[in-house]
Amino acid sequence: MQKKITIIDYGSGNILSAQQSFIKVSQEYEINAEVKISNNHKDIKNSTHLVLPGQGAFLSCMNGLKNTPGIIDAIYEFAQIKKHPFLGICVGMQLLAEDSEENGNHKGLGWINGNIKALPKKNLKMPHMGWNITTPCNTLSNNLISQKEDFYFVHSYYFKCRFRENILAETLYGITFPSIVAKENIYGVQFHPEKSSSQGLKLIKSFLTK
């Protein structure tokens, strides 16, 4: 059966880079897949997997979703009602939270309980940029990684989950923060798998098996 992956176009994120990484995974692992960039409701409805990238400030990304007619309803039906696999990347992950304190207080999608908080500076450079170790902390079968891996990060805020069960992996930068979150079919990664070499591709492959 062909997998139909849609990278959601709402004016934010490394959309072309994300698309190319999913295409590369499907080719290298011989996965029969079609990878589209789209905000068309029909494309979303017919997808098997959705990817929400994100880059920049939380509010601008949230406004990008709100200003794309019908997109929030379409992705809600896909992920929350039909329970199909959904992946948020970087700010796309943060949008899954209830709210964010970045530049004020702003509501998110509220799909995973928790809030977006500023990383404490603690004499560390901000943003947290570059390679860092991600350590699995939840051995549930829905985990996206099975061992410690290096991934590429660019962020100054983190997802403070309300429930420990939603944290699949953690990373240390001043504090230990969730770097992979999940709730049922909904996943979020704080790093950029599309910029994370072979381990990023392996994570994408794991997502495509969901």
Domains in the chain, CATH or no CATH each: 3-208 (3.40.50.880)
Q: Residue 186's pLDDT is what?
A: 97
Q: What is the pLDDT of residue 200?
A: 96
What local confidence, expressed as pLDDT, does residue 110 receive? 98
Q: Residue by residue, what is the 3-state secondary structure of 76-93?
A: HHHHHHCCCCEEEECHHH
Q: Please give the pLDDT value at position 159.
A: 98
Among the listed ranges 9-23, 82-96, 180-194, which one has the minimum average pLDDT value? 9-23
- 194 a catalytic residue: yes
Using alpha carbons, list the distances in angstroms from residue 72 to 46, 87, 105: 16, 15, 20
CB-CB contact of 111 with 184 (8 Å) = no
- Tell me the pLDDT of the chain averaged across its residues: 95
Query: Residue 127, preceding bond cis, omega within 30 degrees?
Result: yes
The pLDDT value recorded for residue 108 is: 98
At residue 151, the pLDDT reads 98
Q: Where are the alpha helices (H) located in 11-167, listed in sequence order?
A: 15-28, 41-45, 58-66, 71-76, 91-94
Per-residue pLDDT averaged across 15-39, rounded?
96
State pLDDT tens for residues 191-202. Answer: 999 999 999 999
Q: Which amino acid, 29?
A: Y
Kindly state the percentage of the chain with pLDDT values over 90. 90
- Structural contact between residues 208 and 31, judged by C-beta atoms closer than 8 angstroms: yes
Residue 89 has pLDDT above 70, yes or no: yes
Please, which residues have CB within 8 angstroms of residue 175's CB and are 6 or more apart in sequence? 119, 120, 122, 158
pLDDT at 12: 80
Cβ-based neighbours of 63, under 8 Å, separated by 6 or more: none
Between helix 197-208 and helix 15-28 the angle, nearest 10°, is 80
Q: What pLDDT does 14 receive?
A: 73
Q: 154 pLDDT exceeds 90?
A: yes
Q: In terms of Cα–Cα distance, which of 159, 74, 158 is closest to 110? A: 159
Beta bridge partners of 182: 187
90 catalytic per annotation: yes
Instruction: State whether residue 210 is helix, strand or coil.
Output: coil
The string of pLDDT tens digits covering residues 95-152 is: 999 999 999 999 999 999 999 999 998 889 999 999 999 999 966 556 789 899 999 9
Residue 11's pLDDT is what? 87
Q: What pLDDT, on a 0 to 100 scale, did the predictor assign at position 122?
A: 83
In whole angstroms, what is the distance from residue 108 CA to residue 58 CA?
A: 8
**Residue tagged active-site, from 49, 90, 102, 161:** 90
DSSP for residue 148: -
Confidence of residue 170 (pLDDT cuts 50, 70, 90): very high
- Contact (Cβ atoms closer than 8 angstroms) between residue 5 and residue 21: no
pLDDT above 80 (res 65): yes
